[in-house]
Every structure is written in structure tokens, then in C-alpha cells.
Amino acid sequence: RVGLCVLCGLPAAGKSTLARALRRRLPQRPGWACALLTYDELIPPEAFGPREAGAEPAGPFPLPPRWKQSRRDLLQCLERVLRALVTGEPLSAPATAPPAWERFLGCLRGQGLLAPAGSHGEGCSWTPAATSGPLYLILDDNFYYQSMRHEVHQLARKYSLGFCQLFLECPLKCCLQRNRLRNQPLPDETIYFMAEKIEMPDVKKNAWEQNSLILKSFDCTSEDNEQIINLLATALENPVKPNEENTEQKEADRAICAASAVHQADQTCRRIISQTMKDAKDKNLLPSEMKSLAEELNKLKTEFLEDLRQGNNLKNQICTQNQYSDPATSVISSFQHEATNVLNKYI
């Protein structure tokens, strides 16, 4: 069994102190193992600096800030490790994040969870400490946005893992004071910014945050905090369930969408017929020809709408030409094309 525990809170709130305490405390439980993943150590300092001149790619899509990219790389590494643990597959490096992967493996080796191996993680093997019993991965970072934490929860859901959150609540003034005493303090502005943006766990709003504990920073000095241990155990015993498909709801939604698409296409096809008839009149078609043209266009409309209603529109040639069109748009485009062909027969 594998659990993911997210530590979150302002810088200098006491997260790292708590993380180290858990790293010592959890292996004392029979069979349990623990790995501490400290983002400050896994993300290189240069990721927080500006990009070098000329590093941006040409085109309309600039690269994300390097710290954002580093977090994405780290999440990819975490997923590779989780997949290997859950499925028993060999560890394999992500194609896009080799430096992050080496740091990640080094972190696990340093904590006795991986045996020495070849380059790029090839031939890596888990030690008995990692596989003999429950393993908790403690993620130590600010995680000040709920979206940052939700990314980790999605991994827990994907692999049916335990998931919980520990939020350390510490007064801003205290965080600023503690930060200034560090060897490499953050700018005060950074902490002020996070204090304005930070999103605490909200169980009422987000059901996925139900396994959360908000702690006063000063309450976390004891390694034997029963609340924390109980939360970790509960999360591990109740892993996140994968999304279950609600077939009935999906069918209802599909029917609503289909009805809306048919209505939209019907209205547009009527306008196309009206414009086509106007064009035919301008070409001085005979009344008998106008009548035949109207009958043919309306019959064509009925066929197209029935195809859309039955989902047969995917067979239309226009769908292969424009694979990104929604069904109604594809039908309308095809109908416009066919209506023009019909008119051309008469003129």
C-alpha cells in the first residue's frame, strides 16, 4: 500500500521540521516505510531565476517559467515511481526530464528505498524497506494553490493510493521572522505574495480534500501527534477510488447534447435553404423548377438531420476533412456543400 501526504503552508511555517519528524516517526510503526520528497532540494535554485536570452522558442507559445516546468518534471518523476510501485514494472525515466529524474532517484537512494543501479535508473530495484509494508511519500512544499495539491490527488486517484493533506497555519509575522533567520532567506515580498494567494483546504467546497488536517504551527513540535498519525492511517486504509462511470447520466447528457445539435443544425439548414432558393430565383428558374428544387433541398435536410440524430454524421466526408468540428458544424458544412451541388444542377 502506498500513501501520498501533502504538506502545505507558507514558507517558514514549520513544514520541513514536521516532515523530518514524520520521516523519523513513521518507520517506527511495524512494517511502515517513509520517503521525504522536499521540493526545495529536488528543484534546482536556477529554476527560480529568469530564463537566459534566446532561450524562448519562436512562435506564439512561450515556455512556462522554469520553476513551473520543474514542478511538472517532478510530477512526472513521481508518477513513474508510483507506477513502478503499484504495477511492479521496472523504473523508467521520463523522456523529458532526465536531470530531475536523477535527482529524484538520488533522493530515494539516500533514504534507503532504492538499491544502487546503472545510469538513468536502469536496473533500479526497490529495497525491502520500500515494498515489505505500507510506504508513505511525504511531499514537502508550499502547495499554496489548491490546483497544485489537486495534481497530486489525481495521481492518487489514478493509482488508487491513500491521500491526505497537512496544512500548517502560522501567523504571517512569525513566518517572516523565522525566514529572516535562515541561511538563505526568501524575499519578504515572496511570503507576502503567498499569504495573499494561499488557499487552505476546504472540505465543503472540495470533496477530494476530506482527508485534511489544519494544524497550528506550534502544535507540531511533538512527533507523537496522534491526529497526524490517525489521518495518515485513515487515508492509507481508504485509498482514493478511480472515477466510476455514471452510464445513465452519460446517456442523459448525450441525449441532451444530441437534441441541441439537431436543433442548431435544423435552424441553420433552414437558412441555407432560404438563401439557396433566393439565389435560384435570381437566376430566373421556372416555377416548376423552383418547386422541385425546394422539395429536393428539404428532403436532403431531413436526411442530414436524421444522420445527425442517429450519430451517422461521422461517416460524412467533411468529418475527415475537419476532425476538430463538432457534429452539428460538420453536418451544416456538408449540407451547404450538397445544397450548392443541387442548385448547380438547375442553373
pLDDT digits (tens, 9 = 90+) for 193-217: 999 989 999 988 888 999 999 988 7
Q: Which residues pair with 167 in a beta bridge?
A: 8, 214
Let me know: does 70 contact 173? Beta carbons within 8 Å: no
Is residue 165 domain-resident? yes
193, 216, 237: which is the final residue of a domain?
Answer: 237
Tell me whether residue 140 is in a domain. Answer: yes
pLDDT-based confidence at residue 323 (cuts at 50, 70, 90): very low
- DSSP conformation class of 126: B
DSSP string, 249-300: HHHHHHHHHHHHHHHHHHHHHHHHHHHHHHHHHHTT--HHHHHHHHHHHHHH
Is residue 56 included in any domain, yes or no?
A: no
Range 197-218 burial, b when 16+ CB lie within 10 A, else e: ebbebeeeeeebbebbbebebe
pLDDT class of 60 with cuts at 50, 70, 90: very low
Domain range spanning residue 289?
Answer: 245-345
| Residue 57 placed within a domain | no
- CATH number for the domain spanning 43: value is 3.40.50.300
Q: Are residues 164 and 33 in the same domain?
A: yes
Is residue 155 over pLDDT 90? Answer: yes
Q: Reply yes or no on whether the pLDDT at 46 is more than 80.
A: no
pLDDT in tens, 79-126: 989 998 888 888 888 877 678 888 888 898 888 888 876 544 455 788
Domain stops at, among 237, 267, 296? 237
Does a structural domain hold residue 294?
A: yes
Pair 165, 23 in one domain: yes
The kind and range of the H/E element at 73 are: helix 66-87
Cell numbers placing 145? 494553490
Asked whether 86 and 130 are in contact (CB, 8 A), the reply is: no
Asked if 85 and 206 sit in the same domain, the reply is: yes
238-273 pLDDT, tens per residue? 999 887 545 555 666 666 677 777 888 888 899 999
Number of domains within the chain = 2
Q: Are residues 258 and 230 in the same domain?
A: no
Average pLDDT along the chain: 80
**Residue 166 backbone class (left: φ over 0; alpha: ψ -120 to 50; beta: rest):** beta
